[in-house]
Amino acid sequence: MSLRERTLPERTLPVRPPPPPVPPGRPGSRRSGSRWPVTGALAVLLLVGMTALGPLLQGTGWWWLMAVEAGVVLVVSAGIRSLGPQTWVVPLAGAGVVVGSVTLLFGGGTGVLWLVPTGETIDRFRTLVDAGIASVQSQGTPADPVTGILFLLCVGAGAIAVLMDTLALTLRVPALAGLPVLVPVGVPGLILDNGADKLTLVLTAAAFLLLLRVDVLGRRGGRPAGRLGLARPGTGAVLVGGLAIATALSLSVVVPNLPGDGRVGGRATGPLLFGDGVSAMVNLGQDLRSSQAGAALHYRTSAAQPPYLKLLTLDRFVGPSWTARLEPTNTGNTVDAIDRPPGLSAQVATTEESTQVVIDGVASAWLPTPGAATKVSGLVGAWYWNGPTGTISSTNSSTRGQKYTVTSLVLEPTPEQLRAATGRYPVSVDSSLRLPRNSPLIIEQTARAVTSGTATPYDAAVALQEYLRGNEFTYDTTAPVADGYDGGGVDVVGTFLEVKRGYCVHFASAMAVMARSLGIPARIAIGYLPGSRSSNPIEGRDRFNVDAHDLHAWPELYFTGIGWLPFEPTPGRGTVPSYTQPTGPSIPLGGAVAGVPSTAPRPFNDSGQALPTGGGSATTPGSDTGTPARVALILGALVVVLAVPGGIRLLRRRRRRRDLARGTAGGAEAWRELVDTAVDFGVDVRATETPRELAARIGALPGLTGTGGVVAGAALGRLLAAAERHRYGRPAAGAPQPELLGDLDTVSMRISMGATTAARWRARLLPASLWLFLRERGRAPVTDA
């Protein structure tokens, strides 16, 4: 065998051809636009899912706020993703958008640059959360979306949007992206008797299937399998999608509404929160209008006059609406020994009475009790009293099925004692003087007109009660609903004082806010009227039956040395307290009320109150005057966020053009601007290619081909020649050439004309060259490659 024959054949490594350039927008490109349809499908799914909350909230302003918040998060996340950062950057940026937007809208200017939260901002957020929870617990459905509730909804919408975007696009499992939408879709099914709206469920399911279809089409176009191993996205998507839809339908149809002793935040909300027993404010009217009144409770008492049974105290405002005070439970305040009412002097006569109560149909965390309770026995569970509000509640029990005995005091002050109660109010009741900003002027004007000539706060209170019980006003449970001013907020009171028709909520709220406008502390109690006397006595005592039609609201006013006293301004309902029937003369003081400032303290907002809902006149419930401003702020923030990348790119473009026009820049600068323009329109620039190779690919773009691209092709050739002279020629070859500016404009215009509308907007708002510039900064410029 010859040496040639024994020589091993030469082995050569196969040369892999470079991958073909990926067309702009094709799946698989790092700047691919194929993920934008998925973002759009996510937005549709979330927007449709949020409509399920409609039966729980008044108006539509809350939906627009959530929609804009979710839209900002999804758009910004998609825009950042299109620039090709690390995968973990996008969810982090989405969370940052949520924090920045809520700081802008609800931070009250406490954030750095109105976007970055500070310690003061966190305290403000904590207050809003407490206010939102308090408002939810004290309102019925549909609830007034006050500032605290809007804050919670805004944060929730942003968080769901971040989670959906992360599942669908970062982890690439869009079949699981429908799970977060079950939160807004499933809540009505857990709260309302008739569950969520069936049409909303169907539309949500259709939107979810649309998301799956859009994703499948994108994967078929070349996108790799998801990171969680769904190699067959169509099968996995349909399986998980069907499971999600079935879950949503089950939550609406199968799961019953929350029972009365359901808990939110450690306190039972039950009938006070979208339940079937006692409801606050708006729902109280719904119960009064109901044709069927279920039994609530029955009792027998040693009192000469059957008592009112108090459940809940509304003593502060969240936005324009009354709400209950939420304070940490003091486990030392057990009901076997309850302190005397705060502020009660020993000189005021009291009578002790005993009342045995049996609960028939009320399920609540607040205990119905008469008067000022001093002891309760026979209760099951842990119950605690609250001195400032005069209520008894439980953190782990319900009134359902309870039988208990209440020992209470009946306060019997004389008119003379009440007229003498003109000293300074204690600090503990200062909050009961506050009214929301921009309260209707008719409230204070009417109050001062009615109390003109009264001498003391007591005389003023009696005058307000007599005015509301007078012939000018009519008790009517239907007129407020028909005329759109149902509820008890200050905006509603303004309308009520003009219409002069309403039910107990309107009368109680009107007297309370008018008293506050005069400088008299006031609040609202919600509970039951004494009920009707039964013909079947129990152990020799009369039995009184109370049902849902006995639900009632009445004001309580504070007098120094006496404490909180109930009044009855509702005509035809309840009984007027004996101490409101004066026996002595009242000395006129020319229109001012003795013991209070000649001009009432102006309503103000503090850290414990909700944010003002906007200026202007009062509006009807559900039309939150601050919502349009919030939406406008969010839209403005979105515009600013979207304008930042485009603005930076515009400044760079103008600087280069200015230098070319002045003759201070040459072919190199013109070529850099051309390359950036091409990158903005989706041309993939490779670091290994020469300017001539790149020019050939630019010349193949739609706008530079055909007869219309001849002039542009020639201009492109001149720009290429100038760039090559700068790179390969002598230093003198790179002299400024002002005429290149016209060639640059010609080629740039033709590139834009050949692109789609979406590509043009993407080039303006999210220029990819800006990210390329930041990524390549500090290394050899890509435009020199």
Predicted pLDDT at 357? 95
Longest dimension (CA), the chain: 141
Q: Lowest mean pLDDT of 25-39, 198-212, 216-230, name the range.
A: 216-230
The answer on pLDDT for 436 being more than 70 is yes
- CA–CA distance, 744 with 673 (Å, rounded to integer): 8
CATH node for 418-522+567-624: 3.10.620
CA dihedral over 755, 761, 763, 768, signed as positive or negative: negative
Segment 133-150, tens digit of pLDDT:
766 765 556 676 878 888
* 611 touches 605 (CB < 8 A): yes
Average pLDDT, the chain: 76
Within 10 angstroms of residue 448's Cβ, the number of other Cβ atoms is: 18
The answer on pLDDT for 225 being more than 80 is no
Cis peptide before 142 (omega within 30 of 0): yes
- 522: phi then psi, degrees, rounded to nearest 5: -150, 155
- CA–CA distance, 140 with 466 (Å, rounded to integer): 30
The answer on pLDDT for 433 being more than 80 is yes
CA dihedral over 47, 49, 51, 56, signed as positive or negative: negative
- CA–CA distance, 415 with 247 (Å, rounded to integer): 63
Predicted pLDDT at 233? 43
Between the CA atoms of 162, 165, 168 and 172, what dihedral angle is there, to the nearest 10 degrees? -90
Predicted pLDDT at 475? 92
3-class DSSP state of 149: helix
Higher pLDDT, 729 or 107: 107
Segment 513-551, tens digit of pLDDT:
999 999 999 999 999 999 998 877 766 678 999 998 899
Predicted pLDDT at 656? 86
For residues 307-331, give the mean pLDDT. 82
Q: Which of 541, 522, 578, 566 is nearest to 309 (CA)?
A: 566
> Which runs of E-coded beta strand occur in 126-220?
none
Segment 202-213, tens digit of pLDDT:
888 888 888 888
For residues 231-235, give the mean pLDDT. 44
The answer on pLDDT for 237 being more than 90 is no
Predicted pLDDT at 591? 40
The answer on pLDDT for 19 being more than 80 is no
The answer on pLDDT for 606 being more than 80 is no
Q: Which residues pair with 563 in a beta bridge?
A: 559
For residues 732-755, give the mean pLDDT. 77
Predicted pLDDT at 458? 94
The answer on pLDDT for 376 being more than 90 is yes
Predicted pLDDT at 719? 86
Q: Percent of the chain, pLDDT > 70? A: 72
Predicted pLDDT at 260? 35
Spatial neighbors of 375 by CB under 8 A, at least 6 apart, are 335, 336, 337, 338, 406, 407
3-class DSSP state of 128: helix
| Domains in the chain: boundaries | 35-258, 275-413, 418-522+567-624, 633-784
- CA–CA distance, 193 with 290 (Å, rounded to integer): 15
The answer on pLDDT for 566 being more than 80 is yes
Segment 769-779, tens digit of pLDDT:
876 665 555 44
Cα of 127 vs its chain's centroid, Å: 14
Higher pLDDT, 242 or 119: 119
Using CA atoms, how far residue 592 sits from 9, 461, 510, 567, in Å, is 116, 13, 20, 21
- CA–CA distance, 51 with 141 (Å, rounded to integer): 15
Residue 259: pLDDT band with limits 50, 70, 90: very low
Q: Which residues pair with 310 in a beta bridge?
A: 369, 527
* 569 touches 581 (CB < 8 A): no
The answer on pLDDT for 265 being more than 60 is no
- CA–CA distance, 474 with 469 (Å, rounded to integer): 9
Predicted pLDDT at 772? 66
Q: Where are the alpha helices (DSSP H) in 437-523?
A: 441-450, 457-468, 479-483, 490-499, 504-517
The answer on pLDDT for 716 being more than 80 is yes
Q: Which of 415, 418, 426 is nearest to 388 (CA)?
A: 426
* 184 touches 56 (CB < 8 A): no
Q: Lowest mean pLDDT of 108-112, 412-416, 543-547, 738-742, name the range.
A: 738-742
- CA–CA distance, 483 with 495 (Å, rounded to integer): 10
Predicted pLDDT at 281? 56
Residue 413: pLDDT band with limits 50, 70, 90: very high
> Which runs of E-coded beta strand occur in 326-461?
349-359, 369-370, 372-377, 383-386, 391-394, 403-412
Higher pLDDT, 560 or 316: 560
For residues 231-251, give the mean pLDDT. 49
Segment 7-16, tens digit of pLDDT:
444 444 444 4
Residue 629: pLDDT band with limits 50, 70, 90: low
Q: Which residues pair with 546 in a beta bridge?
A: 297
Within 10 angstroms of residue 120's Cβ, the number of other Cβ atoms is: 14
The answer on pLDDT for 555 being more than 90 is yes
Predicted pLDDT at 253? 46
* 763 touches 752 (CB < 8 A): yes
Q: Which of 282, 271, 269 is nearest to 553 (CA)?
A: 282
CA angle 660, 663, 668 (to 5 degrees): 55
For residues 633-641, give the mean pLDDT. 60
Q: Which two tokens stand for residue 327?
A: 């304070």
Predicted pLDDT at 326? 66
Segment 68-99, tens digit of pLDDT:
999 999 989 888 888 778 888 888 989 999 99
CA angle 554, 557, 559 (to 5 degrees): 155
Spatial neighbors of 2 by CB under 8 A, at least 6 apart, are none
Higher pLDDT, 175 or 4: 175
Tell me the pairing of strands 501-502 and 474-475: parallel
Higher pLDDT, 56 or 550: 550
For residues 735-759, give the mean pLDDT. 81
The answer on pLDDT for 594 being more than 90 is no
- CA–CA distance, 556 with 661 (Å, rounded to integer): 78
Predicted pLDDT at 195? 61
Helices (H) and strands (E) in the chain, counts: 23, 18
The answer on pLDDT for 324 being more than 90 is no
* 417 touches 377 (CB < 8 A): no
3-class DSSP state of 42: helix
Q: Which of 332, 310, 317 is nearest to 389 (CA)?
A: 310
The answer on pLDDT for 309 being more than 60 is yes
Q: Which residues pair with 299 in a beta bridge?
A: 357, 544
* 603 touches 613 (CB < 8 A): no
* 363 touches 400 (CB < 8 A): yes
Q: Which of 746, 625, 754, 583 is nearest to 674 (CA)?
A: 746
Q: Lowest mean pLDDT of 287-291, 336-340, 494-498, 715-719, name the range.
A: 287-291
